[in-house]
Structure 1
């Protein structure tokens, strides 16, 4: 719609008689919903009973956010009824096997907190060519122990200006080069049979300018007609300039500003990221309804997790940064309730690369049950560069704690760049200047700092400010590329140690560990992207190489680097899956008395594991009394090596360079 007036006001508070209003609304709406159900051919009464029961349980949680977002509109109840009818029809259309999955998930809502959860992420084309090829690679995923597979954007996008798949032209069509929506649904079924949950990106802050909804406007639809216009557009610069005074530029070096003039539209369009990505206007309830339909469509194709892309940006308000506003949380909560009504098996995963304290604000059972843990990822790399755990320990001591019923997604690196998102207050508390430290880390991981082992590339580097983010595969950032090209076997050993240390920590800390496929083979940077015209200016493609199946064939050969890393990682995965303490999200960061060692305790029920990670290329000692205090024992078994460990009362325990120990009191237990 047009935006001649302010996009949104503060959320409206519920009236004092909110409960009565809610009950009256449901009483009036239920007969209309039941009438719609009975109009369906061959309607199964059991389906209505299930939906009606969920409606009783969840309607209050839906009514509250929707009233806060849209309750001051004259047509509020029209939109409320339309949303509920959408949920009902989606439930009736849901395949029987997915309804059975819903029942299992409702009976076991903590299923994703199991120690057996192992995640993997990949681009369809880079891993297997297309969806048909991916189905032939399921045995490889099974061998790794994968139970959660996140496929990077695979929906239809423009031939050019696709932003790596994040400029979606249709949420109901797979990009033709990858296959069809029917093939995606079949793949989801196959994955489910293997015990693997399918996760996809849901880009819901914006669409491509080639989406059909954008086409309506470009074809002459009235921008002030809410049914026809899904975007934020403006006739002149008055409001864009007013909003722009408090907005930050996402790509200041290459694309300053958040608005784009479209001569073919004769209007300015809100474009937070790129000029070809048009921001949706969630202040328009028709947009909420439309996107709910896309979400539920994907749920009925077997998707079990949706990653909510750019979740912090979905609501705009004059005079603010239009990031992480209260309304953004209300939108997600309302969508969450719709899923409880129509597709209870589906979970949300937040993607909010913002201040660490804001990341946690999206994590709740009624909002996003899963969330990326960018702070852990960034600070593990920081700790390897400094060889010290001080900032890592300071930052995570409290921030790893999240609500019961939720889980972190822990990762060494992803498809995106690495940004140094730590809190400057945390840095100052351990004597670090945040600005200077980020410049050091950028220099270190681009190999510009003397003595650096890393071989990364800068992304979105700003020479004026020194700001940048880092691109590179795990192996190249951990020193393997440099060791192979410039050094020797000793440095290769150290690089392999760093790679396995990073994975050992993410496998042990609370949450779901996720592996970028290819890292298990110690894949180094692929500079071939320089020859691909549409990628040459985006250094992130250096860490998105095509999966090398010839190298994968060497994964069991201990004389190869691929074999050393792959077998080491699979051994860690097996140890995690065998020990209940690695389930759940409870993690206690502790001080082992040595700043070169990162330490934490995992507890679940009566099971306990003390994790120690030596962040340096030199042996490090942990005193015996520290092990007793944090491990609650004098003798231990190391789950990593499957051997007993009894620290010397005087000498304590010495960790070899980059060694990680998972210590349990007594002897190893569980299957190996």
Structure 2
């Protein structure tokens, strides 16, 4: 780019300066023009403002003149109006004064008139008052006169009424007195009649007692004196017998008379028993009363209540260690509850049975407590020995009842320095029946319990009652003397009572406890051997021993009555006829082991379940515990859920019950058997029960099973309904009468048991298959038979039976 010269630059600067000057001048010219225009505008506005002001002033002047004129006119008008108003006010004032004067004159006149009127009214009122007072006085005098007359009349009437009332009262009192005299006379006559009736009744009752006593007195005294030789104690016994007879209530005395007239009332073919633990079955005695409808539904008319008398917890042996013979265990109820239950049972035709533990008491019994304190009177009621040599002598000949759980027959009391006889458990002290006080007091307990309404008294452990050094202390002659005396005492005081003896002995030792027909002892005995032999037959499928046992029973006098059962509260002791079994190659020890193994389910073909009781570890001997249902296989079939095995088990269960119902005597169910209740192993959870396996079949009654009987296809429904059918047949057919002829029939098959019953010209053929296999049985002759199970009648030659089947 080319560089400019200084002159050029100077010229250029001048030119720019001129241009700026022109611009400034133009700007100033414009500003001056604007200011001139503004000044002209301001001048115009000032002119307009002056013109407007002049116009406004002119209007204001005009307005002021108008206002001045209006003001003058208004003032003139106001002045005229004020003058007019003043004139009007003056006129009004004059008129008001005139009116006021007139009113004052009128008021004065009115007041004068009012005063005159008031004076006239006062005068009239005074006259009226005087007149009214006169009239009131006259009226009052009249009323007073009338009142006086009324009072005089009322007085006269009151006196008359009083006189009449007095006469009426006198008459009523006379009538009342006469009526009271008549009532008193009637009551006296009624009382005299009642006294006469009571005296006659007492005389009759005394006659009955003396007649009964007379029938037995000589024999009773003979036996008593033979044992005790104490006339005073015998006299006391007779006096107490009379006392308990007098205390026996009217209903029980009537029942006694009825049963005496009937004779052997307990042997009717409709008798069916059921034994139960009160707490397991219904909680308490009142609970049993509530369950009577169910018991009736079971066709049961004889209830055996297992031990319920007071006994110490944990040392009761299932209630057989009695601490008080006159007190019920508090948790079960009271004696009043028991008496009420007995009365309700009698109303329904049901008999009650209870256990009477004669052999021993609990160590908590009052006698035992006093004996433990060293009181000789009470020590003599037991067997106490300071010298150990005597107990040692006893031990040489007396067997042990519980060799493992309670070995020995004596217990040493260190605080007393003596040995006491305890045949069963250490807390059960044997009573000394050599002491007449023991016999008498126990008979009083027996009669007290009978008076609570008991019908059947089960005498516990009968063979053990009398002790004799040098013997086995079992089945001694004196036991029979005691039982015979007890039988006679019952027939004198309470002849409606039945004695049931618990004799768990060999067959030849059981029958003697019936006594003789002329001098009976027990009315009934447990058919223990037949029960054990029945289960032996189940295990061996061989009826020979069972048939022999039945033949022994059938050969006894028909008056002898056995209680037949399959299971009970106790264990099964295998007290079989081993002499006979030995001839068939069965030795006692190995056979007992076989039976225990079989029923525990340890042998081939066994469906039974159960546990051993009181096993001897040395000899291997043991007893067995289980329910009927578990021994028949219902438990194992249920566990396996095997329907075919369950059918077999139910068939076996029903067949065995049918066999029990066929036997002569009274059938007894064990509560729960009617619904097939199985073993209860929960007893192992109770420390007190766990050592005693008998509680496996002493479980609580399962009422849920009862609900199942409505379903006839259920296990419970099948068993319950089958047993019910058999029971009804038994009570309706004369061939089941107690006096029927009964025998067994020989048959070639050793698993077939054939029983014949004959009564009223008819024969019952009851045949039982004790094997797993079906059998065909030939009848004795071709004839027309009635099948009691189906009701059909037909000509029969043979009968087919399934395994464990039967027919009637």
TMscore range, shorter length: 0.7 to 0.9
Relative to structure 2, which stretch is displaced further, 377-386 or 146-155? Answer: 377-386
Q: Within 5 A, what are the aligned runs for 1:169-248?
A: 169-222=323-376, 225=377, 229-248=380-399
- Is 1:341 matched with 2:492? yes
Alignment partner for residue 450 of structure 1, among 604, 611, 628? 604
1:322 corresponds to which residue? 473
Distance 1:465 1:415 in 2: 25
8 Å CA contact 1:419–1:469 kept in 2: the answer is yes
Alignment partner for residue 801 of structure 2, among 650, 655, 672? 655
Distance 1:556 1:576 in 2: 23
1:428 corresponds to which residue? 582
Relative to structure 2, which stretch is displaced further, 505-514 or 457-466? Answer: 457-466
Indicate the structure (1 or 2) with the bigger Cα radius of gyration: 2
1:288 corresponds to which residue? 439
- Is 1:574 matched with 2:728? yes
**Gap change, CA 1:255 and 1:167, over 3 Å in 2:** same
8 Å CA contact 2:589–2:621 kept in 1: the answer is no
Deviations 1:338-391 (A, max 9, x none): 111111111110101111111111124621010100111111111111122112
2:556 corresponds to which residue? 402
1:7 corresponds to which residue? none
**Gap change, CA 1:656 and 1:450, over 3 Å in 2:** closer
8 Å CA contact 2:463–2:479 kept in 1: the answer is yes
2:408 corresponds to which residue? 257
Q: Using structure 2 for the length normalisation, give the TM-score.
A: 0.73
1:274 corresponds to which residue? 425
1:361 corresponds to which residue? 512
Q: How far did 1:56 drift?
A: 1.5
2:141 corresponds to which residue? none
Deviations 1:192-231 (A, max 9, x none): 1111110000000000000011112123312xx3x67421
Deviations 1:220-267 (A, max 9, x none): 312xx3x67421111121211111110001111222210001123321
2:787 corresponds to which residue? 638
- Is 1:86 matched with 2:240? yes
2:173 corresponds to which residue? none
Distance 1:229 1:374 in 2: 34
8 Å CA contact 1:363–1:402 kept in 2: the answer is no
Q: How far did 1:616 drift?
A: 1.5
Report the number of matched residues.
Answer: 607
Alignment partner for residue 271 of structure 2, among 117, 128, 132? 117
8 Å CA contact 1:509–1:602 kept in 2: the answer is no
Distance 1:401 1:124 in 2: 37
Give unmatched runs, 5+ long, in structure 1.
1-39, 663-672
CA RMSD of aligned residues (A): 1.7
Q: How far did 1:321 drift?
A: 0.2
8 Å CA contact 1:593–1:623 kept in 2: the answer is no
* Structure ranking higher in helix proportion: 2
1:55 corresponds to which residue? 213
- Is 1:564 matched with 2:718? yes
Distance 1:502 1:623 in 2: 22
Q: Which is bigger in relative contact order (C-alpha 8 A, separation at least 6)?
A: 1
Three-state SS of the structure 1 residue aligned to 2:708 is coil
Deviations 1:602-657 (A, max 9, x none): 223433211101112211122233xx3xxxx7221121232335333xxx222122
Deviations 1:459-487 (A, max 9, x none): 11123212111100111111111112136
Q: Within 5 A, what are the aligned runs for 1:533-612?
A: 533-584=687-738, 586-612=741-767
Q: How far did 1:430 drift?
A: 3.8
Moved over 6 A (4+): 40-43
Three-state SS of the structure 1 residue aligned to 2:318 is helix
- Is 1:331 matched with 2:489? no
8 Å CA contact 1:156–1:176 kept in 2: the answer is yes
1:307 corresponds to which residue? 458
**Gap change, CA 1:57 and 1:607, over 3 Å in 2:** farther
8 Å CA contact 2:601–2:608 kept in 1: the answer is yes
Distance 1:254 1:549 in 2: 34
Distance 1:145 1:487 in 2: 31
8 Å CA contact 2:368–2:379 kept in 1: the answer is no
